[in-house]
Amino acid sequence: MVAPFESAVEIPAEAFPPEAAVHAVNPWVALAYLIAGICFILALRGLSSPATSRSGNRYGMAGMLIAVVTTLVTHEIASLPEILAAIAIGGAIGFVIARRIAMTAMPQLVAAFHSLVGLAAVLVAVAAFLNPDAFGILGADGNILTVSRVEMALGAAIGAITFSGSVIAFAKLNGNMSGSPILLPGRHLINLGTLAAILAMTAGFALSAHAGPGEHPIFWVLLAASFAIGFLLIIPIGGADMPVVVSMLNSYSGWAAAAMGFTLHNTAMIVTGALVGSSGAILSYIMCRAMNRSFLSVIAGGFGAQGGGGDAGEARTERPWKRGSAEDAAFLLKEAGQVIIIPGYGMAVAQAQHVLREMGDLLKEHGVTVKYAIHPVAGRMPGHMNVLLAEANVPYDEVFELEDINSEFAQTDVAFIIGANDVVNPAARNDRSSPIYGMPVFDVEKAKTIFFIKRSMGGVGYAGVDNDVFYMDQTMMLLGDAKKVVEEIVKAL
């Protein structure tokens, strides 16, 4: 009889890769990675609300510290000083960026970081392909293990897509490329053909009878096709879909890391990658639902590229509209019982969040109830407006999501729209030919008075659709830079 926890057959140590052997003989490694995984789960839980986001960040940092230290201590490191020097350099760069980056530039920073995760996955896959013995994935026949080839191909492909797609997203968000959709002729056929080729090459690489270290040329073709499809998928996507793109690329980066975790036999990478990938996918679904669009329609791209009905294109400036002044706005705001402020990307561009909070504080001193309404896709990444308002120290209990505040506009004296457009456009409800039809929007037209801050009457939102709110009887247009306009209102108050 075999005693508990004993084996009847002695398995030689060389049957395990070095990393697998560590996990087999040292249960503390598995425990440390489990604690790190719990920290990451708590981080996601904390980041689900602005009120707990700071603690969520701390849990995430603690989990990553545990995972990195555990890996360095328990694995054979070729040159620990070089690893520590690289960590120090990367940490210093990250610290400087975090100190200098403006909150308005956060979307492009996130896109840039996603590209680095994708590139890291590609580099790990290339290293494993060129030197599989160091990763413990070289079989007795001199070929890379079949399951490792699948993991390697998937990790490289997803990482390359994440890298090139994130670079394009960064360029669009940072203004290096036009934020408008760039539509290639036959793009759907090109994309489908490229994706099919990537899947076919992955299968061919996995099933090949000859796949020694660096031997199979199909791996490099697969990598090149993956870089290309990341580029092709993102360039047709317009600015209105950027929140979905950011969360989608976040999901891709997670799955790339998870695939590389299998190649590296690293449980922490697998768990972390799966958490990031699944949470990013869920967030993408939430963003799509907020726009009443399918995920496939977003990936197909071109939102706003083709106008719907007669409202598409430039604003109809020949229609009558009323121009208000800062003094008018200050008087009516001070006399209001309740004011709902709807911020958009224009507020971010003007960096008007601090003076907007100052205006809100002054109104509250006059006994006015002030609330902030946040649309799920306002800005250029999920939670963009929440981050900006938190930076300006706007109380969390004054910030409401669309479904929680939309019913209050009928009892609201003033709807104050600053830099938003498509998310308050009634065409989403009334015009079936509009490209934004079906997207849930704020019912601002039910408010007694509407103040609408925008730079000029000639501009339209990302969807390229004119907004009937501009021309309503209760609307006063406050034209100019959002920060300067609100500063003038504050002075008048």
Does residue 290 carry a pLDDT above 70? yes
Q: What percent of the chain has pLDDT over 70?
A: 88
pLDDT of residue 413: 94
Does residue 240 carry a pLDDT above 50? yes
Summarize the confidence of residues 388-404 as an average pLDDT.
89
Does residue 314 carry a pLDDT above 50? no
Does residue 242 carry a pLDDT above 70? yes
Q: Residues 452-461: pLDDT tens digits?
A: 998 887 766 6
pLDDT of residue 63: 94
pLDDT of residue 463: 61
Q: Tell me which CATH code domain 322-492 carries.
A: 3.40.50.1220
Highest-scoring range by mean pLDDT, 38-52, 258-272, 402-416: 402-416
Does residue 21 carry a pLDDT above 50? no
Does residue 311 carry a pLDDT above 70? no
Pick from 76-80, 135-139, 405-409, 453-457: least confident: 76-80
Pick from 55-59, 124-128, 137-141, 169-173: least confident: 137-141
| Residues classed as catalytic | 422
pLDDT of residue 65: 93
Overall pTM surpassing 0.95 (yes/no):
no
Q: Residues 147-169: pLDDT tens digits?
A: 888 888 999 999 999 999 999 98
Does residue 272 carry a pLDDT above 70? yes
Does residue 393 carry a pLDDT above 80? yes
Q: Where are the domains of the chain?
A: 16-100, 103-305, 322-492
Does residue 316 carry a pLDDT above 70? no
Q: How many CA atoms lie within 13 A of 181 on its CB side?
A: 24
Q: In whole angstroms, how far apart are CA 487 and each of 51, 88, 104, 281, 343?
A: 28, 43, 19, 40, 16
Highest-scoring range by mean pLDDT, 178-182, 301-305, 385-389: 385-389
Does residue 173 carry a pLDDT above 60? yes
